[in-house]
A and B are shown apart, each in its own frame.
Chain A
């Protein structure tokens, strides 16, 4: 074959241990569980790993009771000094959801270098080059390789106005004009929705704009079913590297599987420099590592509706899980249908963290509370300019709604500069938080406090609990002992009971008196943006299913009958209790914040539904709450 005697070797970054975990297991995977898969992958010829960052920073503190820096150290120790270990940073938000001040952005780069990282991929959901500039320079100055990133997405059918090759190339030109130092360029499609032709044109023309040897990488997800096509398009256009994952964290919401791409490249001018037999062994080792983790069906399949959302792999599972937990998964398609308008009027930012979450929250509110009746906080701040400049100016009508509802003026200042003026951000604020909690002030602790706030403190105090979705050993045993053939299907003639507790209606279905009952009741939970009214138990509208299982035993905040003269303040959505602002014995007024819970990557205030005195706080920070769990009991005055 002409000119193809020497096949072009394509660099593969294995994303299994970061984006794979994030897309399939909500980023909740324990380090000791996956480490054995690393040497197996190296044996097959992989030397470039995504080792952290993105949601895999916070999630280790929040859900794994692990220090993310320790994880990175273990990763480096396992690979040895030569592997290219890469992490993902979200521009000025670095590894959190909130934007940070200059000192914390700088500290991020320094600490990741200190903990064994080689390369940082740096992206901004709005493709605002201003957000990549300072953060990118910090990465380079720390002695790391800086992979600057442009984020892609395909627009839902019928929409146009941005996300064309011309738009992406204009972003690249702005990067070049700003003279930001970088060692490689990545095109990142978190929702896997950019069309192969757009990818081809963008990568091809980008290569012409860059020095001949500048590596150009392509990242996508299989969610929409076209990841192999777009990966091939990127390679044919001249991409020098791609991101792949390994089963069981490949395909579906994750990256295409490395073996699948290896196969797709047969008889082409490209090849992956790998030993395919050893790669198959590595996949088996990894499957074995992950065998105890619960697989969610939507994480493993192609979702044809994703073109009209567009929702990144990681966010899709988190959002469907949340809707399933609340018994409203039947309205998922309505939320997806509400997305295009939200994208268009919000200014066409790329659907990737955190903007993907803003889109979902706003679409959700538009469905649940009525169109534009309730502006979600993140979405509102975005249209008002607090995350930087959107690709296209947001709809002025939406901006004025956001301004009214959030009581916030629009800004054109860059987020980092706003943060530098904000006394609640930056090193001094983080150090103060550490001091107040009697924690030692180290660089790492300061960064953890700044980026993980209360939940970081919960971890540092030793109060974090592991919340990893594993098939529990006990459940396995029980299933084997009691149901050798697995759990029997629900019979059609199941006995149903109507149960009324204090005027509240429950439907209880009972089949076997030895098994726990299934209880349904009704509660609303729109994303109210800044605050949630504590849902006093009188207000019920939508179905919730709580299946009691034995691993939950003994939680004092679980449902209990409401006594005469008491109001239970319940969490309207599942999440983690960040902090309690009130103690037992204190009095509260309607609307006063009692506690803050985090769910859907968003903090939600739980406000007092009535004036009164707090009789009892039912749970403490760090606790994972199911929807309907009781936070406190108030005696109304």
Chain B
């Protein structure tokens, strides 16, 4: 059964919201949001660390449990891409123009400002639920950003004033859930155009790091399933479903 309201569960401190959600997945409901003021073990993609001991930023995990029988859960594969578009839309209302680096990095002038991480909970060979971890740098000091191992920025630094974290969160959830139901039905195609418009990779030479090999070529576009289409110098097209993309002219 779907709920239509989000319910925010707040913690002063957690190891990480995504770990909490994984441990408690059976007790958590569709649209529950686990929020921690600080995290001691914030996580990023490929088990990288996400600096998250500074309060007044967004460290949340969103629990999604769509009805199993409809088959809509398949769309959860791409849910972090919907969230990345939602983050850009919300940023736009602050006057911040952000771009997307496939699959779901949100960058402002090449600087990381938001990280997304999703975990599917499988039952047999299908997705039963999904936990979407979201970290957004809202109110960071410059010195905190220097501790991050890649160029990073925070909303307050861009805007020159502090950001109301709770309002940002409300707007983000509202924006995300406005498209959530149609997204479950239609999948990535629903947001393909918006996603492509925001992509900073299209038409650029890129290098994709895959487990055990490396592909170079030009970013051509995105398939209906949200994978990255790379054209090699010989014109051969490859669909990338997972991998770490580098783009020298961007980062």
A→B interface (CB under 8 Å): 1-6, 8, 201, 203-205, 207-209, 212, 235-238, 268-270
Task: State the Cβ distance, A296 to closest chain B Cβ, in Å.
Answer: 38
Residue of B nearest to A3 (CB): B108
Residues on B with C-beta less than 8 A from A8 are 95, 97
Residues on A with C-beta less than 8 A from B178 are 208-209
Task: State the Cβ distance, B46 to closest chain A Cβ, in Å.
Answer: 26
Query: Of B109, B158, B194, which contacts A212 at CB under 8 A?
Result: B194
Query: Of A5, A203, A209, A269, which contacts B95 at CB under 8 A?
Result: A269
* Pairwise interchain contact B94-A208, C-beta atoms closer than 8 A: no
Query: Of B97, B158, B171, which contacts A207 at CB under 8 A?
Result: B171
* Pairwise interchain contact A207-B109, C-beta atoms closer than 8 A: no
Q: Determine whether B96 belongs to the interface, using a CB cutoff of 8 Å to chain A.
A: yes
Residue of B nearest to A165 (CB): B167
Query: Ordered nearest first, which 8 A-B pairs have the shortest CB separation?
Result: A238-B93, A208-B174, A269-B95, A3-B108, A208-B171, A212-B89, A208-B175, A207-B93
Bound-complex Cα distance A145 to B94 (A): 26
Residues on B with C-beta less than 8 A from A203 are 93
- Tell me which residues from 62 to 114 in chain B have a Cβ below 8 Å from any Cβ of chain A: 89-90, 92-98, 108-109, 111
Residues on B with C-beta less than 8 A from A207 are 89-90, 93, 171, 175
Q: Report, as a range, how many residues of chain B touch the other chain.
A: 20 to 34
Bound-complex Cα distance A473 to B250 (A): 68
* Pairwise interchain contact A201-B167, C-beta atoms closer than 8 A: yes
* Pairwise interchain contact B111-A205, C-beta atoms closer than 8 A: no
Residue of B nearest to A5 (CB): B109
Interface string of B133-159 (1 = CB under 8 A from A): 000000000000000000001000111
Q: Determine whether B186 belongs to the interface, using a CB cutoff of 8 Å to chain A.
A: no
Task: State the Cβ distance, B99 to closest chain A Cβ, in Å.
Answer: 9
Q: Determine whether B209 belongs to the interface, using a CB cutoff of 8 Å to chain A.
A: no
Q: Determine whether B170 belongs to the interface, using a CB cutoff of 8 Å to chain A.
A: yes
* Pairwise interchain contact A238-B159, C-beta atoms closer than 8 A: no
* Pairwise interchain contact A204-B167, C-beta atoms closer than 8 A: yes
Known contacts A4-B158, A209-B178, A212-B194: does B93 contact A204 (CB below 8 Å)? yes
* Pairwise interchain contact A238-B158, C-beta atoms closer than 8 A: no
Query: Of A3, A201, A237, which contacts B96 at CB under 8 A?
Result: A3
Residues on A with C-beta less than 8 A from B92 are 212, 238
* Pairwise interchain contact A6-B97, C-beta atoms closer than 8 A: yes
Residue from A8, A207, A270 having most chain B Cβ neighbours under 10 A: A207
Task: State the Cβ distance, A110 to closest chain B Cβ, in Å.
Answer: 33
Bound-complex Cα distance A238 to B178 (A): 17
Judged by DSSP, the binding face of B is helix
Task: State the Cβ distance, A510 to closest chain B Cβ, in Å.
Answer: 64
- Could you write out 26 A-B pairs with CB less than 8 Å apart? A2-B109, A2-B111, A2-B158, A3-B158, A4-B95, A6-B97, A8-B95, A201-B167, A203-B93, A204-B167, A205-B171, A205-B174, A207-B90, A208-B170, A208-B172, A208-B174, A208-B178, A209-B178, A212-B89, A236-B95, A238-B93, A268-B95, A269-B95, A269-B96, A269-B159, A270-B95
Task: State the Cβ distance, B199 to closest chain A Cβ, in Å.
Answer: 15
Bound-complex Cα distance A269 to B161 (A): 12
Bound-complex Cα distance A573 to B172 (A): 55
Known contacts A3-B96, A3-B98, A269-B95: does B90 contact A208 (CB below 8 Å)? yes
Residues on A with C-beta less than 8 A from B111 are 2
Task: State the Cβ distance, B108 to closest chain A Cβ, in Å.
Answer: 4
Residue of A nearest to B96 (CB): A3
Residues on B with C-beta less than 8 A from A2 are 108-109, 111, 153, 157-158
Residues on A with C-beta less than 8 A from B175 are 207-208
Bound-complex Cα distance A209 to B92 (A): 14
Residues on A with C-beta less than 8 A from B98 are 3
* Pairwise interchain contact A3-B167, C-beta atoms closer than 8 A: no
Bound-complex Cα distance A203 to B96 (A): 16
Residues on A with C-beta less than 8 A from B153 are 2-3
Interface string of B169-182 (1 = CB under 8 A from A): 01110110010000
Bound-complex Cα distance A208 to B98 (A): 16
Task: State the Cβ distance, B177 to closest chain A Cβ, in Å.
Answer: 9
Bound-complex Cα distance A1 to B153 (A): 11
Residues on B with C-beta less than 8 A from A209 are 174, 178
Bound-complex Cα distance A5 to B111 (A): 14
Task: State the Cβ distance, A44 to closest chain B Cβ, in Å.
Answer: 24
Contacts A3-B153, A208-B174, A208-B178 known; list 16 others, CB within 8 Å.
Answer: A1-B158, A2-B109, A2-B158, A3-B108, A3-B109, A3-B158, A4-B95, A6-B97, A204-B171, A205-B167, A207-B171, A208-B172, A209-B178, A212-B92, A212-B194, A238-B93
Residue of B nearest to A216 (CB): B93
Residue from B95, B158, B171, B178 having most chain A Cβ neighbours under 10 A: B95
Residues on A with C-beta less than 8 A from B93 are 203-204, 207-208, 237-238
Task: State the Cβ distance, B156 to closest chain A Cβ, in Å.
Answer: 11
* Pairwise interchain contact A3-B174, C-beta atoms closer than 8 A: no
Residue of A nearest to B167 (CB): A204
Residues on A with C-beta less than 8 A from B95 are 4, 8, 235-236, 238, 268-270
Residue from B97, B153, B158 having most chain A Cβ neighbours under 10 A: B97
Bound-complex Cα distance A3 to B112 (A): 11
Residues on A with C-beta less than 8 A from B90 are 207-208
Residue of B nearest to A169 (CB): B174
Bound-complex Cα distance A4 to B175 (A): 23
Bound-complex Cα distance A225 to B118 (A): 49
Bound-complex Cα distance A203 to B167 (A): 12
Residues on B with C-beta less than 8 A from A237 are 93
Bound-complex Cα distance A212 to B193 (A): 12
Bound-complex Cα distance A151 to B34 (A): 36
Bound-complex Cα distance A625 to B211 (A): 89
Bound-complex Cα distance A207 to B109 (A): 23
Residues on A with C-beta less than 8 A from B172 are 208
Interface string of B186-217 (1 = CB under 8 A from A): 00000000100000000000000000000000
Known contacts A2-B108, A4-B158, A208-B175: does B94 contact A236 (CB below 8 Å)? yes
Bound-complex Cα distance A87 to B238 (A): 53
Task: State the Cβ distance, A564 to closest chain B Cβ, in Å.
Answer: 76
Bound-complex Cα distance A212 to B153 (A): 23
Bound-complex Cα distance A22 to B92 (A): 34
Residues on A with C-beta less than 8 A from B108 are 2-3
Bound-complex Cα distance A5 to B96 (A): 10
Task: State the Cβ distance, A196 to closest chain B Cβ, in Å.
Answer: 13
Residue of A nearest to B177 (CB): A208
Bound-complex Cα distance A238 to B109 (A): 20
Task: State the Cβ distance, B134 to closest chain A Cβ, in Å.
Answer: 15
Task: State the Cβ distance, B145 to closest chain A Cβ, in Å.
Answer: 11
Residues on B with C-beta less than 8 A from A205 are 167, 170-171, 174
Residue of B nearest to A239 (CB): B93
Task: State the Cβ distance, B168 to closest chain A Cβ, in Å.
Answer: 9
* Pairwise interchain contact B94-A238, C-beta atoms closer than 8 A: yes
Bound-complex Cα distance A207 to B111 (A): 25
Bound-complex Cα distance A5 to B97 (A): 9
Bound-complex Cα distance A377 to B90 (A): 46
Residue of A nearest to B85 (CB): A212
Task: State the Cβ distance, B17 to closest chain A Cβ, in Å.
Answer: 21
Task: State the Cβ distance, B163 to closest chain A Cβ, in Å.
Answer: 11
Residue of A nearest to B179 (CB): A211
Task: State the Cβ distance, A6 to closest chain B Cβ, in Å.
Answer: 6
Residue of B nearest to A270 (CB): B95
Residue of B nearest to A211 (CB): B178
